[in-house]
Amino acid sequence: MSLGEFELIKQYFQQQSGAPGVALGIGDDCALLTVPLGQQLAVSMDTSIADVHFPADGEPDLIAERALRVNISDLAAMGAEPLWFTLGLTLPDADPQWLQAFSQGLFRVAREYGIALVGGDTTRGKLSITIQVHGAVAEGKALLRSRASEGDQIFVTGPVGDGAAALAVMKQQLSAASMMTDYLMERYYRPQPQVVAGQLLTNFCAAAIDISDGLVADLGHICEQSGVGADLHLERIPLSEAVRQLVSFEQGIDWALSGGDDYQLCFTVPKAQVQQLETLVSTGKIVAHHIGEITAGNGVSCWHNSNPVVPSGKGFQHFGGQEALS
Ligand code: ADP
Ligand code: MG
């Protein structure tokens, strides 16, 4: 990039060293990182492009927060501890005010999750943000999509559907009181990657995934990779109070099933280990809502008060009595 590149990196992205495992951070050709003994490195990358994944004129600190949080969510879904990240930043211009706010948002999240920026690349072009996260998980303990088996119970860590509700508000398809708008914008821009839950689950959970594309699609990935099916009980799916107040149950469930951008974990636990999970729930260490069970079939089957219902692909517009299969 321009001559200003080094100044820009120094001013906005180079922070004091001293983060765990960082033998050498920003400034050389590579960072040098030490993976804790007996742990595996979990690596994942996500790109966010202006006007595709976020509005280009959004608040820069929130754009940064969302980009990093969404990446950390992938570490959470593997049960990994966040350690380091790199940042590929493409900017139309080097606007100091924008960069100041962006880096503030970025480091706010970095501090919250104890993840250190160790390098990156800076280029000129349409605004886009690529983040690669690195985490550590004890060897053989990572939560995989492929580990579900018949009889496992299915859980989610919190309300689903908020991401889609936020998008509907942003696209002005829905008007909401400011309190709910605030809640939904917060959920959209500042999703809470379930890092603590993910790490606790490595002790007994079978399979896990973070919900970025909606429950049906994401639980569907677990089914596909594990060679199993799933029964999902729609009346048990947790919806936030905002969603319940704003729209019908059918619309809320539609968003939960096919909306995405929720970043809760969906995970399965073998029957014999459910008691262990319940202990963690009752002592407040983890939040888990029981929403279904893994079957010998294939794909995700949906039930409402024990009646089978058919997803229309775009959720449950046809949801309700006469459309049920029974
Ligand atoms: P090189 O030309 O060797 O690839 P660069 O000039 O791209 O080096 O980067 C110099 C240093 O600054 C490297 O350590 C790189 O990782 C870091 N860096 C570049 N851009 C960013 C960024 N957006 N965020 C964090 N570190 C960055
Ligand atoms: Mg470079």
The mean pLDDT value for 60-64 works out to 97
In a domain, 324, yes or no: no
Contact 153, 290 (CB under 8 A): yes
Query: Between 178 and 89, where is the model more confident?
Result: 89
Question: Residues at the annotated binding site?
Answer: 29, 44, 46, 53, 74, 120-121, 145, 210, 212-213, 261, 316
| Class of residue 88 by CB neighbours under 10 A (exposed 0-12, middle 13-18, buried 19+) | middle
pLDDT in tens, 205-215: 889 999 999 99
Number of domains in the chain: 2
Percent of the chain with pLDDT over 70: 94
Query: CATH number of the domain that 128 lies in?
Result: 3.30.1330.10
Contact 212, 48 (CB under 8 A): no
The pLDDT value given to residue 215:
96
Q: Are residues 120 and 160 both part of a single domain?
A: no
In a domain, 254, yes or no: yes
The pLDDT value given to residue 177:
86
Q: Are residues 169 and 297 both part of a single domain?
A: yes
Q: Are residues 184 and 111 both part of a single domain?
A: no
Contact 30, 119 (CB under 8 A): yes
The pLDDT value given to residue 294:
98
Is the model's pLDDT at 176 over the cut of 90? no
- Tell me which residue range forms the domain holding 305: 153-309
pTM strictly above 0.75:
yes
In a domain, 146, yes or no: no
Residue 318 has which token pair? 């046809």
Q: Are residues 132 and 169 both part of a single domain?
A: no
Closest-approaching ligand to the CA atom of 29: 1
Spatial separation of the C-alpha atoms in residues 29 and 17, rounded to whole Å: 16
Question: Which residues have their alpha-adjacent CB atom under 5 A from ion ligand 2?
Answer: 121
What is the distance between the terminal CA atoms of the chain, rounded to a whole angstrom?
A: 63
Percent of the chain with pLDDT over 90: 85
Tell how far the Cα of 136 is from the centroid of ligand 2, in angstroms. 25
Q: Are residues 16 and 83 both part of a single domain?
A: yes
Q: Are residues 161 and 300 both part of a single domain?
A: yes
Is the model's pLDDT at 272 over the cut of 80? yes
Nearest to 41 by CA among 136, 140, 166: 136
Query: CATH number of the domain that 276 lies in?
Result: 3.90.650.10
Q: Are residues 122 and 164 both part of a single domain?
A: no
The mean pLDDT value for 7-31 works out to 91
In a domain, 321, yes or no: no
Q: Are residues 132 and 19 both part of a single domain?
A: yes
What is the band of 312 on the pLDDT scale with cuts at 50, 70, 90?
low
Spatial separation of the C-alpha atoms in residues 199 and 196, rounded to whole Å: 5
Tell how far the Cα of 8 is from the centroid of ligand 1, in angstroms. 10
Helices 96-113 & 60-78 angle (0-180, nearest 10): 30
Q: Are residues 171 and 219 both part of a single domain?
A: yes
| Class of residue 14 by CB neighbours under 10 A (exposed 0-12, middle 13-18, buried 19+) | middle
The pLDDT value given to residue 44:
98
93 CB less than 6 Å from ligand 1?
A: no
28 CB less than 6 Å from ligand 1?
A: yes
The pLDDT value given to residue 150:
98
pLDDT in tens, 228-243: 999 999 999 999 999 9
In a domain, 108, yes or no: yes
The pLDDT value given to residue 4:
78
Is the model's pLDDT at 58 over the cut of 50? yes
Is the model's pLDDT at 323 over the cut of 50? no
Q: Are residues 163 and 304 both part of a single domain?
A: yes
The pLDDT value given to residue 236:
98
- Residue 240: count other Cβ atoms within 10 Å of its Cβ: 21
What does R_g of the chain's alpha carbons equal in angstroms? 21
Q: Are residues 169 and 60 both part of a single domain?
A: no
Q: Are residues 64 and 191 both part of a single domain?
A: no
Tell how far the Cα of 27 is from the centroid of ligand 1, in angstroms. 7
The mean pLDDT value for 180-186 works out to 94
Report the Cα 320 to chain-centroid distance in Å: 30
Report the Cα 60 to chain-centroid distance in Å: 20
What is the band of 53 on the pLDDT scale with cuts at 50, 70, 90?
confident
Q: Count of alpha carbons within 13 Å of 316, Cβ hemisphere only?
A: 28
- Average pLDDT of the chain is 92
